[in-house]
Amino acid sequence: MEGNLLIAVGRRKTARAIVKMTEGEGKILINGKNISEYFPLVTQQAEVLKPLKVVELDGKFNIEVKSEGGGISGQVDAIKLGIARALVKYNPELISRLREFSLLTRDPRMKERKKYGQKGARKRFQWTKR
């Protein structure tokens, strides 16, 4: 890999993504697969590339991602956050533009745990009078 290497981590729910960016021609590999193979939906691909589009640097970086845990949606958001954080390392002046689209905010929502004496996190067992 040529150029300087930028490494950043993104997280969402139980998904983690380690993003490695180098200046290049715009190749994106996620877990060894092309982005269109890994995320077949165009909306998911667009969401992953949103930080690059916002700062108008799409096609300027080769990105290699190791993503694990969670589901597809969680991984999309984790990769998006990782790319945004790597862009800030590349150029700290991009912070305000990325914040404007809230791309540097880690979504804190997690699955609520199941409580004892209950059927789920909120659902109770059915009460019978007789």
pLDDT number for residue 74: 95
Name the pTM for this structure.
0.90
**Averaged pLDDT in 10-residue chunks for the chain of 130 residues:** 82 96 94 95 95 93 96 96 96 94 95 95 92
- b/e code 55-73 from CB counts within 10 Å (16+ = b): bebeeebbbbbbbeebeee
Residue with tokens 């694990």: 68
Supply 86's token pair. Answer: 């790597």
pLDDT number for residue 130: 85
**d(C-alpha 85, C-alpha 51), whole Å:** 9
Dihedral angle, C-alpha 84, 85, 91, 94, nearest 10 °: 50
Dihedral angle, C-alpha 23, 27, 31, 34, nearest 10 °: 170
pLDDT number for residue 3: 62
Query: Which of 89, 69, 67 shows the shortest CA–CA distance to 79?
Result: 67
Domain 6-100 has CATH 3.30.230.10: yes
